[in-house]
Structure 1
Amino acid sequence: MSDSSDRLPRHVGIIMDGNGRWAMERGLRREHGHSKGADAVRRVVRASRRIGLDALTLFAFSSQNWDRPPREVFHLMHLLRRYLIEERAEILDNGIRLTTVGDIQRLPRMVLRPLTELMEASAHNREMVLCLALSYGGRETIASAARDVARAVARGDIDPESVDAELFGRFLPTSELLPPLDLLIRTSGERRISNFFLWEVAYAELHFSEALWPDFGEPELWNALNDYANRERRFGLTSAQIKAQLEERELPGRPALSGVVADPLVEPGH
């Protein structure tokens, strides 16, 4: 494949895990780990923009995180507010469009105001989409979509017999905001999805990094991207069918295929 951008995932999601463990291993309070995790967010967003990803979703705060100790929740909200304020200029100057998924109306006003202002200010940017999953839960989102479908059926707008996976997916917030999820990364060595993008992850590639989130940076991101580039994405087909599609792609005048990757990526300069 001639262009390395053909082997990049369009949309990468990251479950940022390990802040508390990072702090505990150093005899520090969990809040210190979250502060260092905010630094990792800056590194990864910059690296993703430089590498050329179309979209990056960060699982920043789950629906279940509201049950954490109030002091920790307050600290997380303060970090989020500081990030939105301090990174505003860089986000706008680099053509990044900020968006969100989740029940953001639960966020305190000190966070909601700079968040909505930055989303509005960056709405026309096209270089990369940065999506923050805030007060987000995969089950909760699917349940909300199911309610919307039920209301549409009750109004007579939709024939219940026409409800299939494609139609249902249109009722999810990600259907309009983001391209399909290609790669899901989880840090800290944990191997679970934790209620994140349960619908969207159906055909995504999964990469589990041993690095705790505060230690995650561009080298670890490249490791995940190279792992992705070595995968054969079949979407229910056989390897022989994928091979035939790749051979057909190479014929003159044939359009490029999307979603199938074969050759590994290498970090520029290496």
Structure 2
Amino acid sequence: MSTTAVVIGAARGIGQAIGEDLAQAFPTDRLVLADIDLDAVERVADSLRARGVDAVARHVDIADEKSVSNLVAATSEASRVAIAAGVFDSAPTLQVDVADFERIIRINTIGCFDVARHYAGRMAERGTGSIVAVASIAARMPRMRQAGYAASKAALRQALRVLAMEVAADGVRVNTVSPGPTDTEMMRQLASDHATVDDLADGSLLAFRPRIPAGRVARGSDIAAAVRFLLSPDSSHILLGDIVVDGGELLGM
């Protein structure tokens, strides 16, 4: 049966991978790709339309409540929503600028939560729907120089669990996926002092980063597969869940 799927933060990286995965897994869906970078997300939508996918691009700034409300109003029928928007910053904690900390929380926590609660409300009215947000293993494992990012993802996970409890009886499922290091454009820039992103899999004693047992970092497709599962009927009895996709870095803890 045809439905509408929305991917927030779909212009690049994990969000783009999620959009491409959903297009293949649910070929009859109308796919709405939203991002703050409209030109970039238009290019992603164009590439999918060239393959026969019913894909449209929309602008959204998740730090702007009105922008979020406009997107949700225009896609109120959505029954699958993936939230992959977010920002990253790294600085020694003693040197963290409060404005930068607030910006990360505003986007990664409040912005993503705002998207989720608005869609959850629409889904609750219809009695069905699934929402998945991309969190991070940084919500569980402290990362050097990532106080703001780790705090934002930990807060997002817990806020969405509360939301999930409150809308479960209305037939709405809310879950998260927590990636470990993932080979994206942003990660390649952050790991520019490594020969390859996969070198991060070796870990670092100085940074208190454990080795990744799988021997490589994640690909966008690894994260997208977990998101797709949680958005599909195959996961109908999973809610308040968090699927960790980290190649074993957390050792299952």
TM-score of the alignment, normalized to the shorter chain, above 0.5: no
Higher relative contact order (CA 8 A, sep 6+): 1
- TM-score between both structures, scaled by the size of structure 2: 0.31
TM norm structure 1:
0.30
- Determine which structure has more spread, i.e. the larger CA radius of gyration: 1
